[in-house]
Each structure stands twice: as C-alpha cells, then as structure tokens.
Amino acid sequence: MDPKDNLGHMADIIDLSLVAESRKHLKKLLEARGIAYFLRKDARRPFQLEPEKVDLVVRAAAKTRAQARQPHQKAFEHARREVRRELIRRVVAEMISVGL
C-alpha cells in the first residue's frame, strides 16, 4: 500500500486533547451543579439538554488548553458530541433511578 494513498484521510485526524479537557470541565460542573444544570427548565420536556450548556463546557475547555491557537472546527464538533453523549448517558441513568 502506497502511503500517498492515505494523504486524503490525514485531514480527518481530530485533536483529542480538546475532548479530554472538555471531559474534565464536564466532570467539575457535574460535581458542582449536578445534572439539572444541563437540562432545560421546560416542564413539557423535563429531560432535554440545554445546547448552550454543552457549548459552554467545550468553550471553557478550549480556553484552558495549553495551545495558543484555536482548535479546528471539527475538534469542537467532536468534543460537543462527546460531551452530549456523556450527558445523555447520565440523564438516562437518572431517569432509570427514579423509575421513568
């Protein structure tokens, strides 16, 4: 296999340090404020995530990173998806624990 054939795939590499830093910030916020902080306050949709709070976690993580330059947009998108997945997992666990 020719290494030149893989050059098109190299652009898809994601900087996972933003994901790791986002997870740290998420853990701190969950410990400080709990899962309810990330949920909408709408009674009709009590377990819906607040997208702005997910973005807040990722933006805070990006600011504290050691690198001076901004992460690529794909890194932001990947980190948001990972934070959202973790929050969904926790919301589901909470719903199960209360019997919903």
Q: Is 71 helix (H, G, I), strand (E, B) or coil?
A: coil
Give the C-alpha distances (Å, rounded to integers) separating 9 from 67, 73, 77, 93: 24, 17, 18, 37
From CA 67, how far away is CA 63, in angstroms rounded? 9
Residue with tokens 């690198």: 67
pTM above 0.85, yes or no: no
List all residues 6 or more positions away from 56 whose beta carbon is below 8 Å from its beta carbon: none
| Structural domain boundaries in the chain | 13-98
Which of the two residues, 9 and 29, has the higher pLDDT score? 29
Predicted local confidence at residue 13, as pLDDT: 60
CA 3 to chain centre: 33
From CA 43, how far away is CA 99, in angstroms rounded? 18
Residue 95: both structure tokens together: 């719903």
User: pLDDT per residue over 32-85, tens digit each?
Assistant: 999 999 998 876 777 789 999 999 999 999 888 666 567 778 888 999 999 999
